[in-house]
Chain A
């Protein structure tokens, strides 16, 4: 008996050396990523990394190219900076975890917590005493030190007056439909406004979005309800064609103001330009692969990836 693999999805990206999530249309059984920039150029670097179903979180099988283009079989052990499969086809939120003791008021924010989520998880932060600006918001977890802390990589907390002295959370699967609403962490005042979101937003160049900022406590009320076209993206930023240069500054309110009742700014999908089809509303419970720093390539490297699944069994 054999179980042939079918190609599920493939793509490329320019690495910024930071860990990232590759969203996939279904769960996968085999994932491979190659470094187009360094392949055959005799660097001392990982040029190919693979993941098979059954690998532990953070694990990878790698090929490292040394001097003279010699390839060496290497590996990243479980818990390392390799791959972690993300499967959120079940959209029920996780149980309340009430063991966190603090969140730094820094960018990114670091949560002191002995109970760790997994890198790539989306967590809703709750009961964030003294930092109630973020209570109820979801964040992508971008790094974990097991038993010690985890990082909210897209949290723009440097402007907050105080660190949180408590930090409960729930793990939140993404909503059933894509593209989805995303909470805003920051908006630049610029000729092309850049919106930072608290989670990986999934929007693509050509998406048309509406920026909702109905609460004057966050500043920049002029942008409320404006629609724009996405001209560039990173995992958590959206560059738009909205000219916000003359707008008042955006800033999160104090913890006390947030506690008194606010509506957090958010971005919602509006439509798309006629040349793309990738932003069609679709029921896509999130599956994906988290690529940690050991497999994501160096800054500016072009990375090609492919995901395979068992389409059928014979």
Chain B
């Protein structure tokens, strides 16, 4: 009789692969261009920012009498943001770390880091979705309101931001003598959902980032540019479920100019990773360990004239 594995199977029939599989990690696009602020300790929980408003020009000559002109009054806008606290944690028994083949605590730390950064990004996204000025795409042909995005809609946003004296975030990428490439205009940053890929590529004048003459400082989350907008995509982009005239999902595309919004963190607590070994607290038999994070922050639009939520449906 032939000896086969049926007759003589291996006593241990599986081996754990120490190379762990990748975990889904969304690209963090919304906090990318937020201005960082820090709230000092022992300063209350509201950060007050102030912007002085412009003074009028004075184009009228004084004349030979040299009388003083009408006086102008300084005015300022106060912009307040209240710090909120966030935290999460996991409890892992001593037994788990003893019997699992992989280093569970290492993976826990990585997952907590992902949770913290995605929470930050989500908070910025939700703040922008709820408080930014909006402009609907109206130049598409899908019969909905808003319509799918077109070049004319991008140009309308750019014109509005330019009209409000919003500064571009990125400068021109000059053309070079490289086959298939073209110059990229100075641009505002546009942040949206990955579902928009086909829509953006369909807009007139789209340039994929592979066609940029220079790949220096090009983010993995960038997809390309249309006119004066460079598009950054994430699977966690903002969607207003069932919000259109016909009940379709609306995709929120946040066009940001420089200094349009901020992320304010509490000095001393942001991005704090906390590990307590077995025996900490009410654990007399050293059976449980905990790992978690806490942070304190708040995102805030600092100039609503410099950020616009361009809303679109799918074509």
Contact = CB atoms under 8 A, between A and B. Distances in A.
Interface of A: 91-93, 96, 124, 126-127, 132, 135-136, 168, 170, 174-177, 179-181, 208, 210, 212, 214, 225, 227, 258-264, 266, 268-274, 277, 279-283
A261 B312 CA distance: 11
Contact of B304 (A93, A210, A258, A282): A210
Interface string B296-315: 00111100110000000000
A263 B79 contact: no
Contact of B134 (A124, A176, A227, A263): A263
Interface string B183-214: 00000000000000000000000000000000
B131 to A, nearest CB: 6
A214 B131 contact: no
Interface in B69-105: 76-82, 84
A136 B80 contact: no
A97 to B, nearest CB: 11
Contacts of A260: 138, 145
A44 B127 CA distance: 47
Q: B129, B242, B245, B246 — which one has the most chain A CB atoms within 10 A of its CB?
A: B245
B245 A177 contact: no
A210 B145 contact: no
Given A126-B242, A259-B245, A262-B138, A268 B304 contact: yes
Contact of B131 (A261, A269, A272): A269
A214 B129 CA distance: 18
Task: Tell me the interface secondary structure of chain B in the complex.
Answer: mixed
A168 B78 CA distance: 41
A180 B131 contact: yes
Given A176-B123, A268-B304, A280-B46, A259 B242 contact: no
B245 A283 contact: no
A263 B298 contact: no
Contacts, number: 131
A261 B146 contact: yes
Contacts of B244: 135-136
B164 interface: yes
A68 B127 CA distance: 54
A168 B136 CA distance: 21
A177 B82 contact: no
Contacts of A227: 77
24 contacts: A93-B242, A124-B243, A132-B245, A136-B250, A175-B126, A175-B129, A176-B127, A177-B126, A181-B131, A181-B132, A210-B304, A259-B245, A261-B140, A262-B145, A269-B301, A270-B304, A271-B51, A271-B77, A272-B78, A277-B46, A281-B81, A281-B131, A283-B123, A283-B298
Q: Nearest 9 pairs between A and B by C-beta?
A: A175-B130, A261-B138, A280-B80, A271-B77, A176-B126, A263-B136, A135-B245, A280-B82, A282-B82
A273 B46 CA distance: 14
B279 interface: no
B266 interface: no
A32 to B, nearest CB: 27
Contact of A208 (B77, B134, B250): B77
Contact of B133 (A168, A174, A212): A212
A71 to B, nearest CB: 41
Contacts of B258: none
A181 B242 CA distance: 18
Contacts of B139: 261
